[in-house]
Amino acid sequence: MDNSSSVACSAPRHAPGALLDALSRRFGERASTTQAVRDHHGRDESPFPIAAPDAVVFAHSTDEVADAVRLCAMHRTPIIAFGAGTSLEGHIQAIAGGVTIDLTGMNQVLAVRADDLDATAQAGVTRKQLNEQLRDTGLFFPIDPGADATLGGMAATRASGTNAVRYGTMRENTLALTAVLADGSVVRTGSRARKSAAGYDLTRLLVGSEGTLGIITEVTVRLHPQPEAISSAVCTFQTVRTAVETVIATIQSGIPVARCEFLNVMSVRAINAYAKLGLQEAPMLFFEFHGSPNAVKEQAQAVEALALDHGGSGFAWSSTPEERSRLWKARHDAYFATMALRPNARVLSTDACVPISQLAECIVQTEADIGRSTLPIVLMGHVGDGNFHLGINLDPDSPAELHEAEAINERLVERAIAMGGTCTGEHGIGMGKIAHLEREHPSGVPVMRAIKRALDPHDLLNPGKVLRMHA
């Protein structure tokens, strides 16, 4: 795959002067055309080159987003939503020109309803900010994609992360949304009822639509009781296969693990170097257990027994917060640890997810493949869900390295789809996986296109992402 085939070409539709004037009149200094501001909004964490918008509007309310969208729609100019900028597939790159709406000023938690275990927040609130505000309620918001992403961005990409094996993803944890559609109208989807059979599931349609069907401005999410006790465990294995088979046995036994992460040797080495740790450099599993003190103990013991059955060693579990934080901080630093393997590098992060019975085979084949590469590559993942990532360290200015990384990803996606899996467990399609989506869902993509055309006939919302509309 080269970029020309993977990125949907959409002819640039730059914001005309009249639109820039209108935005300036409506938003004053909060409509910026400064180069630095535009550049900052033209790149995410992917290796894709900067594609800056023509202007950036800093919105403070749903009404302001609606006004900005209406003005852009009048001028048939693309509109891109921007949160923390931590997407991994070029989601926020303004590849067709247009106006970016920065939602980080919409940073109010509007309501925490502890009795109902839910909260409503503006789209620019980050997950850490929400959890800060929940601290005294006995509740927490579990979705943890690593980065301190905004709730709007997390909903838009159907994010998940390390806790998903127990608590689900944004798909399961989003109760209701407010979004601005392509014509500037505002839709409120879902309700605070924990379940509903009221019509088409517009909430789930917007979750994962990556700003192409609407701009999410408010999110109502489910909260969960803080577990009475938490414990972590770490265990090393002789082979990748035995580590992964331990995970499969754990899931099949119905042990409600809260987190279950795999790291290969190279990733343990990268983390040791980056975080100055002395973890044993072997295939490794991190576990976390949530529940009553007894339940947590019972879960850890059951997993230890399974690990021993599979030749695991050094099983160590701890319920002290300090030790736990140290381990999880290391796990979350993996992205930066990968980046730090070479100076001035970027990381291409793959995202295959397969049925768990296929996971060991998929990882073993992938390790063989990356063993033939000259690039430094780590492998780690949320293996309780069958989801794992390669972090491919590359020089973004080297076409050869980009090509090599993309070829590895290409083969991995092929492998995952052949095994009944998906090209993306949690990162989304963006501009990087459009061809992969077409391969994975040959009969679904035409349906997605029909929905996109119905809701955004002029292809104004984040054009060139998710779907190739001009093919």
The Cα-based distances of 438 to 212, 352, 446, 466 in angstroms read: 17, 15, 9, 10
Closest CA to 88 of 422, 408, 351: 351
Stretch that binds a second copy, among 16-24, 257-265, 364-372, 379-387 (CB under 8 A): 379-387
Stretch that binds a second copy, among 97-105, 125-133, 319-327, 381-389 (CB under 8 A): 381-389
Structure tokens at 321: 């917060």
Which of the ranges 197-205, 327-335, 391-399, 401-409 carries the binding residues for a second copy, by CB under 8 A? Answer: 197-205
Q: Considering only residues 293 through 312, tell me which ones interact with a second copy, judged by CB under 8 A.
A: 294-295, 298
Q: 255 or 375, CB closer to a second copy? A: 255
CA–chain centroid gap for 452, Å, is 22
- Is residue 290 within a helix (H) or strand (E), and if so which, with residue range? strand 284-291
Q: Identify the residue among 386, 391, 432, 463 touching a second copy (CB under 8 A).
A: 386
Compute the least distance from the CB of residue 34 to a second copy, in Å.
Answer: 33
Residues 324-343, interacting with a second copy (CB under 8 A): none
Q: Which residue has the tokens 């035409």?
A: 446
207 binds a second copy (CB under 8 A): yes
Query: CB of residue 205 vs a second copy: minimum separation in angstroms?
Result: 6
Beta carbons of 358 and 239 less than 8 angstroms apart: no
Interacting positions 2-61 with a second copy (CB under 8 A): none
Asked if 201 interacts with a second copy (CB under 8 A), we say yes
Write out the E strands in 123-273.
139-140, 174-180, 186-190, 215-222, 224-225, 229-236, 259-263
Structure tokens that stand for 83 in this block = 């949160």
136 binds a second copy (CB under 8 A): no
Tell whether residue 385 is a contact of a second copy (CB under 8 A): yes
Residue 198 near a second copy by CB under 8 A:
yes
> Of 209, 217, 366, 409, which one interacts with a second copy (CB under 8 A)?
209
Count the helices and strands in the chain (H runs, E runs): 18, 18
Burial of 302 (0-12, 13-18, 19+ CB in 10 A): middle
Binding mask 254-273 for a second copy (x = CB under 8 A): x-x-----------------
Given the rule CB under 8 A, which of 15-23, 32-40, 317-325, 438-446 is the region that contacts a second copy? 438-446
Q: Where are the alpha helices (DSSP H) in 30-126?
A: 35-40, 62-74
Number of shown-chain residues binding a second copy (CB under 8 A): 92
Nearest-angstrom CA–CA distance, 346 and 42: 16
Phi-psi region of 90 (alpha: psi -120 to 50; beta: other; left: phi over 0): left
- Rounded to an integer, what distance in angstroms lies between the CA atom of residue 174 and that of residue 355? 24
The reply on whether position 443 binds a second copy by CB under 8 A is: yes
Choices 28-36, 314-322, 325-333, 431-439; region in contact with a second copy by CB under 8 A = 431-439
Q: Which of 4, 29, 195, 371 binds a second copy (CB under 8 A)?
A: 195
- Quick one: CA dihedral 290, 218, 446, 94, positive or negative? negative
**Segment near a second copy (CB under 8 A), from 261-269, 316-324, 342-350, 414-422?**
414-422
Task: Show contacts with a second copy in window 451-470 (CB under 8 A).
Answer: 451-455, 466-467
Is position 181 an interface residue for a second copy (rule: CB under 8 A)?
yes
Binding a second copy (rule: CB under 8 A), the pick from 53, 312, 425, 464 is 425
The set of residues, in sequence order, having a beta carbon less than 8 Å from that of 89 and lying 6+ positions away, is 44, 46, 424, 427, 428, 429, 430, 431, 432, 433
Task: In whole angstroms, give the CA distance from residue 308 to residue 303.
Answer: 9
CB of 141 to a second copy, least distance (A): 14
447 near a second copy (CB under 8 A): yes
Task: Report the nearest approach of a second copy to the CB of residue 299 (Å).
Answer: 9
Restricted to residues 148-177, the positions that interact with a second copy (CB under 8 A) are 157-160, 164, 168-169, 171-172
